[in-house]
A and B are shown apart, each in its own frame.
Chain A
Amino acid sequence: MSRKFMWFYVGLALFFLYLPVLILVVLSFNASRLNVNWTGFTFSWYAELWRDRDIMLAARNSLLVAFVSTAISTVLGTTLALGLYYRRDILNRIVDGLIYVPLVVPETVMGISLLAFYTKMGLGLGLTSVILAHVVFCIPFVTLIVQARLAGLDYHILEAAMDLGATELRALLQVMLPLTVPGIVAGGLLAFTLSLDDFIVTFFTAGPGATTLPIYIYSMVKLGVSPKVNALSTIMLAITAITVITVVFLLRTGSNGRKAHEKAQSSSVTGLPFT
């Protein structure tokens, strides 16, 4: 009885969560221009997307913003996490707390404050301002994930490297960094998805000519939901889903170093030559 109820409950939850998405994906292949009846299967909306210059421009902007802000926030976020790991004093504890603030500040507030800040600083709105804004909210996520990875490492490993003659920098590059890579990559991928589908902060900080996909989709919907929007959303869904699945996979192997190294072992069957 209780088991049956549990399955019913789980089914209901999944139904509510995923049905809208499923409908969207299905409708993106619908031949009908109206979003109601199924009249036949087609790829034509995807083809039309490809021909739409405005959409392609928005996609180009989105990808550019996502790549650049991911690169910057991954480097800065990782550096911050390593810095916090190396030295533990009062200042670091304060910084450790402060980096989480962007995670809890309402996005609208962050958008408005960034807009006010840019205006004050005389920075014109455009792709640069969007990229900077994305870097701001991506850094905490990268730091958080890299920190989690670092926390799983034995601190004595770092000491062992220095004991064997490695300077701090060398110990960092040859021991800590290779062991942190799964966390860094996962953090970067997460930053990429966050940047790719951010709407609110982008909305406040984007100027003319800096339209990203989420903003463009929003403006399209104002004129009614076309199947083209469904197709575009499906593509974004696919990109995000693939990235997030990769992140989860990386974090799982990352948190279990043993697994990661077993993989490393099996992938190099011949074994590296002794160097």
Chain B
Amino acid sequence: MVRLEAVTKRFGETVAVDNVSLEVQKGEFLTLLGPSGCGKTTTLRMIAGFEKPTCGSIYINDRPVDNLPPYKREVNTVFQNYALFPHMKVKDNVAFGLRIAGLERSEIKRRVDWALDLVQLTSYGDRYPHQLSGGQQQRVALARAIVCRPRVLLLDEPLGALDLKLRKEMQLELKSLQRHLEMTFIHVTHDQEEALIISDRIAVMESGAVHQVASAAEVYEKPATLFVAQFIGDVNILKVTVADGDGDEAYVQGTESKIPIAVEEHRRYAPGQVLNLAVRPEHVRIGERGARDTGEPQAVLGGVVNNLLYLGSTLKVQVVLPGGDTVTAAFPNSSGRPEFRAGDQVCLSWPVSAGRLLGQ
């Protein structure tokens, strides 16, 4: 539905978007995720037509749009600060695009009512934007964009200005709205949790480049780069050197000891390479070796408990390895408080398949 081919955008000397290729399927909810300044908003603005790519091409519905101004593109945008027209009532804001399209009055009224009903603002048509709360303004912006029935809806951090509780509600609403309309959504956010919740696929960006495009589960469980692993969720990173494998068993050399890893992970790299071993805290267990043995081979290390963190729904234990690295383990609070204290000598373990080798 939307295709970017080797798109680059420079502002003077700065490269905002660096050789990005991306394909968004029809009816897909794709999120561009990354820290501020990573080029995600610039990418969105190029699709909308507010910025021209320095090089590369953008296709919407298989048609190149590089020379089309924003008003000729079959996309609509929900802006970060809503950008509602302050001098128009809510219904006139929503009707703006339809009037320009030259629809009949009765049709405009029908569609405005439909859109306002969809965002649950039926009785707010005669109000002015400043008379609404932030969340309501956000819905008006949404109604104004979807009422034109665009092929693609672009959302530029639409929930950024809302408070946490409202934001969580709107995330679910956006998701169900997108399913209901069967519309293609391209959404920009820096909130990794939001991206995981609402997206079909996530494109993780950093410094203008796309690191990985994959489903939420894949991005979290099989990060393609060290940046992706660290940006999405918590992760333990250990500096390791790839050791010689001997067929069935593969190892990497940590600062102190050999750590077994999955064979298929090992095969991706040559022995001697210095890499990062990434393990999610929830995969790390603390206790006797094989205490929770499920038959899967475990990586086992010894260490000293340094700190216990209470986070409500989870408990975190920080363990310092003899080499000085710190490994954090996370437990659901329901499993009861762990029976150890700072200074205790403990045994760490994780399933071999949970470890992932990543380059720089």
User: A residues engaging B (CB < 8 A)?
Assistant: 154, 156-157, 159-167, 170, 174-175, 178-179, 257-258, 261-262, 264-265, 271-272, 274-275
> Does A163 lie within 8 Å of B70, measured CB to CB?
yes
User: Interface centre among A157, A159, A163, by most B CB within 10 Å?
Assistant: A163
> Does A160 lie within 8 Å of B83, measured CB to CB?
yes
Among residues of A, the one whose C-beta sits closest to the C-beta of B154 is A163
Residue in contact with B128 in the complex, picked from A157, A163, A178, A261, CB distance below 8 Å: A261
Question: Could you list 20 examples of A-B contacts with CB < 8 Å?
Answer: A156-B79, A157-B83, A157-B85, A159-B79, A160-B77, A160-B144, A163-B48, A163-B70, A163-B145, A164-B76, A164-B145, A165-B101, A174-B96, A178-B87, A258-B130, A261-B86, A261-B130, A265-B128, A274-B109, A275-B105
> Does A164 lie within 8 Å of B96, measured CB to CB?
yes
> Does B69 lie within 8 Å of A162, measured CB to CB?
yes
User: Interface centre among A160, A164, A175, A272, by most B CB within 10 Å?
Assistant: A164
Number of cross-chain contacts by CB at 8 Å: 79
Complex CA gap A166/B237 in Å reads 51
Which chain B residues border A274 with CB–CB below 8 Å? 91, 109
Assuming A258-B130, A261-B130, is B86 touching A159 (CB within 8 A)? no
Cβ of A260 to closest chain B Cβ, rounded Å = 8
Q: Is the C-beta of B340 less than 8 angstroms from some C-beta in chain A?
A: no
> Does A165 lie within 8 Å of B71, measured CB to CB?
yes
> Does B71 lie within 8 Å of A159, measured CB to CB?
no
> Does A164 lie within 8 Å of B100, measured CB to CB?
yes
Interface SS of chain A: helix, strand, loop or mixed?
helix
6 closest cross-chain pairs (CB), A and B: A164-B97, A156-B83, A160-B83, A165-B100, A162-B70, A163-B77
Complex CA gap A179/B84 in Å reads 12
Q: Is the C-beta of B81 less than 8 angstroms from some C-beta in chain A?
A: yes
Complex CA gap A275/B96 in Å reads 11
Which chain A residues border B86 with CB–CB below 8 Å? 157, 179, 257, 261
Complex CA gap A190/B192 in Å reads 52
Cβ of A263 to closest chain B Cβ, rounded Å = 11
Cβ of A267 to closest chain B Cβ, rounded Å = 12
Residue in contact with A165 in the complex, picked from B48, B97, B130, B131, CB distance below 8 Å: B97
**Chain B: number of interface residues, binned into ranges:** 20 to 34
* Contact flags B227-246 to A (C-beta < 8 A → 1, else 0): 00000000000000000000
> Does B69 lie within 8 Å of A264, measured CB to CB?
no
Complex CA gap A164/B72 in Å reads 9
Q: Is the C-beta of B50 less than 8 angstroms from some C-beta in chain A?
A: yes
Among residues of B, the one whose C-beta sits closest to the C-beta of A179 is B87
Which chain B residues border A258 with CB–CB below 8 Å? 130
* Contact flags B113-142 to A (C-beta < 8 A → 1, else 0): 000000000000010101100000000000
Cβ of B31 to closest chain A Cβ, rounded Å = 20
Residue in contact with A161 in the complex, picked from B69, B80, B96, CB distance below 8 Å: B96
Which chain A residues border B50 with CB–CB below 8 Å? 159, 163
Q: Is the C-beta of B202 less than 8 angstroms from some C-beta in chain A?
A: no
> Does A159 lie within 8 Å of B87, measured CB to CB?
no
